Amino acid sequence: MGLWDKIRGEFIDIVQWTDDSRDTMVWRFERHGNEIKFGAKLVVRESQAAVFVNMGTAADVFPPGMYDLDARNLPILSTLLGWKYGFHSPFKAEVYFVNTRRFTDLKWGTKNPVIRRDAEFGPVRLRAFGTYAVRVADAVKFIREIAGTDSHFTTGEIMEQLRNIVVARFSDAVAEGAIPVLDLAAHYDEIAESVGRKIAPEFDAYGLELSQFYVENISLPPEVEKAVDARSSMGAIGDLNRFSQFQAAQAMEEAARNPGGMAAGGMGMGMGFAMASQIGQQMAGASQPPPLPGGAAMFYAAAGGIQTGPFDLVTLGRKAHAGEITAATLVWRQGMPEWTPAGAVPELAGLFPAAPPPLPAAS
């Protein structure tokens, strides 16, 4: 190696950074003890910023472009170095390249449930997750507050801190909001906007700009989800009485198809007839209109194990006179808890003549 090659090897002619990673935020230009040649070329590519640091103090900042490193383009560094010799001597300075592109698909999520009081379900625990995007807006502030002297700073080194900020502000936004739990899914955009307004100033203190913030999912505890599913099922069923009749009919059909049940002493058939009778009574009851307002009470009567009626008091009086019903006949009307002998019902007791008391014993 000649003398000239040795001299050239001691000085750096081009200062640049070709980034081939997707997560590097700050990269320090490695000069390995060599000095930067006065008048060397500085190449700052798109989505980059170059920061010159001298003795721990940030000096000149360069946006994208190509520059000749001389006193004209390094005014702050020239003052810090106190250049002599006509400003033509090599110099030493740390050069940090800051990636200013947008870092997307950064994920956040709640490690522990967020407790929120809901008007319908009371206190509930919520979990949530989503994504956000940031970019370095102030290279000097970011180096000073976050990167420091790290020669290769990546998104992984700040993700935990940013995630903590996001989750804390999300908890505040959800707790302060008056959106019902069941309506949260329809208000993800509003929630994301509220959280974004809260965390933007804190990101700015690090020299970062919050570009995007998304809430992808807010989930309820399993027990609350089951309650919601049950409520939805009830709404889908509609008339519970008709649904019960339908289920009973299906059960009867299934029992009739089961040979083992039919063979076991006719149990299958007996159960089928019992269910059929129950369905008939329910349908008969459901088909009967309610009594007119202010009208006389209507009674059902059991005759030979068969439900008859309803009958008003006049009709029951004629049946009692004809002997078709007696004081022991079971009757029922709306409001009675169970079938009751007619003689024990105050409204019907007068329809049956009282039996005379026993004769007094002869003296």
CB 19 within 8 A of CB 46: no
Burial 54-72, CB ≥16 within 10 A → b, else e: beeebbbbbeeeebebebe
Report the alpha-carbon distance of residue 84 to residue 78 in Å, rounded: 9
Reading the block at residue 150, the tokens are: 């790290």
299-351 domain in CATH 3.30.2000?
A: no
pLDDT in the model for residue 140:
93
Q: How far apart are CA 44 and CA 38, in angstroms?
A: 17
User: Angle, nearest 10°, between helix axes 159-176 and 188-204?
Assistant: 130
pLDDT of amino acid 180 = 86
* CA–CA separation, 295 and 334 (whole Å): 13
CATH number attached to the domain at 103-225: 3.30.479.30
Burial class (CB in 10 A: 0-12, 13-18, 19+), 137: middle
Task: Report the candidate in 61, 62, 94, 91 with the shortest Cα–Cα distance to residue 78.
Answer: 91
40 vs 68: CA distance, rounded Å? 6
Which pLDDT score, from 0 to 100, does residue 298 have? 86
How would you write the pLDDT of the chain (363 residues) with one tens digit per residue? 444 444 444 567 899 999 888 899 999 998 766 688 878 899 999 999 999 988 888 889 999 999 998 878 888 887 777 765 445 667 888 899 999 999 998 999 988 888 888 887 788 889 999 999 999 999 999 999 988 888 899 999 999 999 999 999 998 888 777 788 888 888 999 999 999 999 999 999 999 999 999 999 998 878 777 776 776 666 655 566 666 666 677 777 776 677 555 444 444 445 455 555 555 555 555 455 555 444 567 889 888 788 888 888 888 888 888 888 888 889 898 888 899 988 888 888 778 876 666 777 665
Q: Tokens standing for 168?
A: 């804390």
Residue among 295, 25, 303 at smallest CA distance from 137: 25
* DSSP output for 252-312: HHHHHH-HHHHHTTTHHHHHHHHHHHHHHHHHHHHHSPPPPTT----EEEEETTEEEEEE-
DSSP assignment letter at 355: P
Q: How far is CA 83 from CA 31, 71, 199, 262, 278, in A?
A: 20, 9, 44, 110, 106
CA distance 68 to 37: 10
Q: What is the pLDDT of residues 271-330, one digit of tens each?
A: 455 555 555 555 555 455 555 444 567 889 888 788 888 888 888 888 888 888 888 889
Q: Please give the model's pTM, rounded to 2 decimal places.
A: 0.58
Token pair for residue 148?
Answer: 């420091």
Is residue 206 a contact partner of residue 142, using CB atoms and an 8 Å limit? yes
Pairwise CA distance, residues 24 & 97, whole Å: 10
What's the burial of 155, exposed, middle or buried (CB within 10 Å: 0-12/13-18/19+)?
middle
CA distances from 253 to 26, 173, 260, 265, 273 (A): 75, 55, 14, 18, 11
The neighbour count for residue 305, using CB atoms within 10 Å, is: 7
Reference 348, options 299, 306, 308; nearest CA is 299
**Residue 56: which of 85, 26, 73, 80 has the closest Cα?**
80
